[in-house]
Amino acid sequence: MVKAQHLPNQTPSILPLKLQGACVKRRGHTLIGPVDLTLGRDGFTIILGPNGAGKTTLLRLMHGLERPSAGRLDWNVPEVQARAHQAYVFQHPTLMRRTVVDNVAYPLVIHGAPRALARARATEALAQVGLSEHVTQRASALSGGERQKLALARALIRRPEILFLDEPCASLDGAATRDIEAILNRAHANGTRIVMITHDLGQARRLARDVLFIYKGRLHEAAPADTFFDGPATAEAQAFLNGDILL
Ligand SMILES: Nc1ncnc2c1ncn2[C@@H]1O[C@H](COP(=O)(O)OP(=O)(O)OP(=O)(O)O)[C@@H](O)[C@H]1O
């Protein structure tokens, strides 16, 4: 895989991303925030927290799928530029009713790449996620794990500077989960900053360099992974790690 193309002497990094007092509210009810947080240029951030804590809302806010109801969210570059260098993978990715290769080529095609070149690049990307045998198949024929690998290849094909993922391995088996973790570690090693939600504490321990713990719509704790897992600062995070039910 080629190193991400956002070298400092070429174009400015879109990071850091700074959230200052950022909130998402619905009908007067705060779903997340106020959050103060800076995402630096390098990192593999895992977002943890109980069901309904606000993790997905925070991820969507950072990616621009939600607008802040209050507070600010600032990239290092104008937002339109930041949007072009980030990608988001959903728990259940939407696949187009096309072949596997055309699904992965699509982000290149809509940004003006000739179709043949886009397909060639997509074929390489599919090899990197272990889907070479499926290139010409209909995407709808893929298994759950293969769909998620396709979604990752599609998200990574434009070499995003930051990749957001919302529980990409939920309901996948161990082999698919292991493969996806390897793809994510490789993407991170190649320069993509990663921010990912998981409910799987084993996965969080395997992947995280740092942790954001969300509780009741607030960023309750932010810490390097070792610090968080070895001795979280708050009773709520400790209870969560113990597997207790948090109300
Ligand atoms: N569009 C919406 N309108 C109103 N309330 C919403 C909306 N989306 C989410 N919520 C509520 O906002 C809160 C936070 O939801 P969110 O999905 O961000 O939490 P989460 O931590 O990702 O949960 P889970 O782990 O269960 O996916 C929850 O109480 C949820 O019911």
Tell me the angle at which helices 100-110 and 144-156 cross, rounded to the nearest 10 degrees: 20
**Residue 55 CB–ligand 1 contact under 6 Å:** yes
- In the chain, DSSP assigns E strands to 17-26, 29-39, 44-48, 70-74, 86-89, 162-166, 193-197, 210-215, 218-224
Q: Residue 143 has what pLDDT?
A: 95
Name residue 47's amino acid.
Answer: I
Mark residue 49 as left, alpha or beta (left: phi above 0; alpha: psi -120 to 50; beta: remaining). left
Q: Residue 247 has what pLDDT?
A: 81
Q: Residue 186 has what pLDDT?
A: 97
Cα 7 to middle of ligand 1, angstroms? 36
Do the Cβ atoms of 210 and 204 come closer than 8 Å?
A: no
Q: Residue 109 has what pLDDT?
A: 96
**Residue 53 CB–ligand 1 contact under 6 Å:** yes
Cα 52 to middle of ligand 1, angstroms? 5
Burial call 166-177: b when 16+ CB within 10 Å, e when fewer: bbbbeebeeebb
Q: How far apart are CA 196 and CA 193, in angstroms?
A: 10
DSSP class of residue 113? -
CA 55 to chain centre: 12
Q: Is the peptide bond before 34 cis (omega within 30 degrees of 0)?
A: yes
Nearest to 204 by CA among 190, 214, 216: 214
Q: Residue 9 has what pLDDT?
A: 55
| Atom number in ligand 1 closest to CA 53 | 21
**Residue 57 CB–ligand 1 contact under 6 Å:** yes
First to last CA, the chain: 44
Collapsed DSSP state (helix, strand, coil) of residue 18: strand
Give residues with Cβ within 8 angstroms of 134, minimum separation 6.
100, 126, 141, 142, 146
Nearest CA owner, ligand 1 atom 24: 51
**Residue 31 CB–ligand 1 contact under 6 Å:** yes
Do the Cβ atoms of 211 and 20 come closer than 8 Å?
A: no
Cα 201 to middle of ligand 1, angstroms? 20
**Residue 52 CB–ligand 1 contact under 6 Å:** yes
pLDDT per residue rounded down to tens, the chain (247 residues): 444 545 445 789 999 999 999 999 999 999 999 999 999 999 999 999 999 999 999 999 999 999 999 999 999 999 999 999 999 999 999 999 999 999 999 999 999 999 999 999 999 999 999 999 999 999 999 999 999 999 999 999 999 999 999 999 998 999 999 999 999 999 999 999 999 999 999 999 999 999 999 999 999 999 999 999 999 999 999 999 999 988 8
Pocket test for ligand 1, best of 24, 32, 47, 57 (most atoms within 8 A of CB): 57
ipTM for the whole complex: 0.94
**Residue 49 CB–ligand 1 contact under 6 Å:** yes
Tell me the C-alpha to C-alpha distance, in Å, between residue 60 and each of 14, 162, 222: 17, 13, 18
**Exposed, middle or buried, 26 (CB in 10 Å: 0-12/13-18/19+)?**
exposed
Phi, psi angles (nearest 5°) of residue 217: 75, 10
**Residue 198 CB–ligand 1 contact under 6 Å:** no
Domains of the chain: 17-95+160-241 (3.40.50.300)
